[in-house]
Structures are given as C-alpha cells and as structure tokens.
Amino acid sequence: MFETMVCALVAGWDFIVDLGCHEDSATIEMSTQIPGDIDDDFRLLVGDALDVNVRDMQMHWTFRDNSWQLDPAQTGFASADAAVDVVGLDTLCDVMEFAAANCAFDPPGSSKQWHSGGATTPRSALPAIPLAPEASPDPEVIATRARRIDEWATENGFCAPLPPTKAALTRHLDHAGPGRAGHYILEFTDGQCYIGESIDLPERLGQHRGRYRDIHRIRVRLDATATRSLHGKRHLRLHEKSLIHSAQDAGLLARNINEMATMIGTSRHLDELISADEQHLWLDAPDIVNSTDTAARPDFPAERLARTAANYRHFRTRSDADQITRIIGRYLSR
C-alpha cells in the first residue's frame, strides 16, 4: 500500500486518501485523479500502449489479519456512475508511471535544449532536442559562452585560464605544488568546452592537442587525494562525472560523449543502426516506444547460454533476486 502511495505521489497524480475506522476493522480508500496538465493525446497514447482506457483510479484497502489487504473488487478505474471497472493494481501503477512522463518532470526555467521537455523523464536524463553541429557562431555568442565557462570554472575551483601548451601547464603545476593529477577543462575558440581528468595533466593535454586544433586555453584543478591514492584514477573519474553533469546544468556546451545528456552533432555508428526519425520518437517517449516495439528477441547460441547458466543459478540463490529483476525490468522498459 505504501509503495502505491509513493508511486502516485512521485508520478505527479492528484492523490486523495480517506480513512475509515470501525469496531473490528479499518479501511483506506485511495483515489487518484489524472493530473490536470496531462495532454489528452498523450493519455490516449498511454492507453493504446497498455490496452486500457486511462481514467481516474480507485483503490480500496482493508486492515485484517494484522495487515493491509487490497480489495480487488473495488480497485480499478472509476466510472461516471460511481462504479469501479476492476483492474489489477500492477496495471494501475503502470498507468501512473507511464502517464507521469508527460506531466511530472518539467522544472520551470529549464532550457528545452538541455533537458527533457517533460515528455518522459526527469531533468538531466534525456534531451528533448539533440544539439546540431553549428557553423561559426557570432562573437557575442562566443563571449557569452566564455563567460559561462569562466563563472562555472571559478565556482568549481579551477585555476585561471592558461595557454594550452604543455610547457605553460607544467610551469603552473610546478608552482602549485606536487602532483600532476586532477581535472581540467579545455576551452575552444567557438565557446565550447571539454571536461576531463588525468593522472598526468600535461601528457593528457598533449593528447588533446593532437586531436583538437581549436583549443583556446585550459584550466586545471589539482587533486591531492588522487596523487596519494592507489585508486586515484577511479577517484578522478567519479568526480569527473559530477563535473560533467554540473556543466550541463550550467548550460555549458561540452564536447564530451560520456555522461552527456546530449552529444553535439550526430553519432555515425548509431545512425547506421537506428534512423534519425526513430531516435527522435524514442527521445520524446522512450517508455512508450519500448512498450510497442515488436522486434523479435535475438537468439543466442546454446554455448553462450550454457556459459552463463551457472552465473544465473547463483544469482537466483540471492534473497533479493526478484527485487533486482524487477528493478532491471523497470530500467530496461525506459
């Protein structure tokens, strides 16, 4: 019952609870109204995907035998005549979660270029509009981007900008103290940037100069913990992830691929597998597209299945195997 309440509240449904107490029993009547800002077309799309008529819902629980038990005869979609069209609780939860995609996660003021437009997923998880390659931007645009980089870099403890040469960076590091490990942000002539980490920052800069011809300057942030630790690389990567997410929230145009909500430009390898139209449909509503996918499951060779059978049997001995399976299923459906 508690999980159902959380599902409704987190999904953004209008939620009402009525508690009734009697001499020998207690009841809880829960009703959920379709959120007022949900789009009718999207509601119909959810209904088609789940093969139901999405309407307001009702759930009836009775306390007996020292536990709350659902009354399935009084659980389902509410009808105009106060009757209940019986539907299983799992289906109701699916409807709440699917329909929430259109209403629950649209933070005010967030740029549709950076985050989901409210179509399916929480902020920062998926973009609504992939970023297209651009021609040379106007000087004012570049200046605005450079100002954003400067503000973000200062807030996150990076040094002042340095010339993008190994010699200049090495001189700075020698003056700053021992160690060559830390994070860096490359600034490009068009106002874009790249955020990274390295155990050897000058060596890493040399690698980037071989790939990028338009590096304008570099800022670094030394990390003493990574210098001292045997697991310095892992430490740096964990913090790199947070920095990339933070940069996106701040509106920086990063050329990173990993951890990005949106890559700049196109992915040639992905386009060979999935058409651009299919990609846009999925970005708009991944859960709906996944649920209506009719592609056959791939057949795996018998020897491959045999190799993994022992691992699966071992997994099934875990007390939380069913819970893990449900979590993975929810993840894959989205």
| SS (HEC) of the chain | CHHHHHHHHHCCCEEEEEEEECCCCEEEEEEEECCCCCCHHHHHHHHHHHCCCCCCEEEEEEEECCEEEECHHHCEEECCCCCEEECCHHHHHHHHHHHHCCCCCCCCCCCCCCCCCCCCCCCCCCCCCCECCCCCCCHHHHHHHHHHHHHHHHHCCCCCCECCCHHHHHHHHHHHCCCCCEEEEEEECCCCEEEEEECCHHHHHHHHHHHCCCEEEEEEEECHHHHHCCCHHHHHHHHHHHHHHHHHHCCCCECCCCCCCCCECCCHHHHHHCCHHHHHHHHHCHHHHHHCCCCCCCCCCHHHHHHHHHHHHHHHCCCCHHHHHHHHHHHHHC
pLDDT string in tens for the chain (334-residue length): 667 777 776 666 777 777 777 666 677 777 777 776 666 766 776 777 667 787 888 888 787 777 778 888 888 888 777 678 888 887 787 777 766 654 433 333 333 333 333 333 344 434 445 566 667 888 998 999 999 999 999 999 999 999 999 999 999 999 988 889 999 999 999 999 999 999 999 999 999 999 999 999 999 999 988 888 777 888 898 889 889 988 988 888 898 888 877 777 666 678 888 887 888 788 777 778 888 888 888 888 888 888 889 899 999 999 999 989 988 988 887 7
**Per-residue model confidence (pLDDT) at position 73:** 84
**Per-residue model confidence (pLDDT) at position 122:** 40
**Per-residue model confidence (pLDDT) at position 151:** 96
